[in-house]
Amino acid sequence: MVREGTDATIVALAAMVPRAAAAAGLLAERHGIECSVVDVRSLVPLDTRIILSLEDA
C-alpha cells in the first residue's frame, strides 16, 4: 500500500503509481476525499482476492 485512505481505492502499476499517489493527494487537498493507493507490484504473489475485495470495502 502506497497510501492509506477511507473513501476510495486506486490500484496502479509501474509508472502510474506516482501519478495515482499525486491524484490521491489532490483529491484529499481539494475535495476532502481520502483514497488508498495500492501498487500491484507489492502484491507478490499477486493476490487477486485482495484486489477483488477492495470493491466491497
CA distance 41 to 57: 21
Residue 43 CA to residue 30 CA, distance in Å, equals 30
Neighbours of 12 (CB within 10 A): 19
Q: Which three cell numbers stand for residue 53?
A: 475485495
pLDDT tens string 2-18? 898 999 999 999 999 99
pLDDT category of residue 50 using cuts at 50, 70 and 90: confident
Residue 19 has pLDDT above 90, yes or no: yes
Strands 35-39 and 8-12 turn out to be parallel
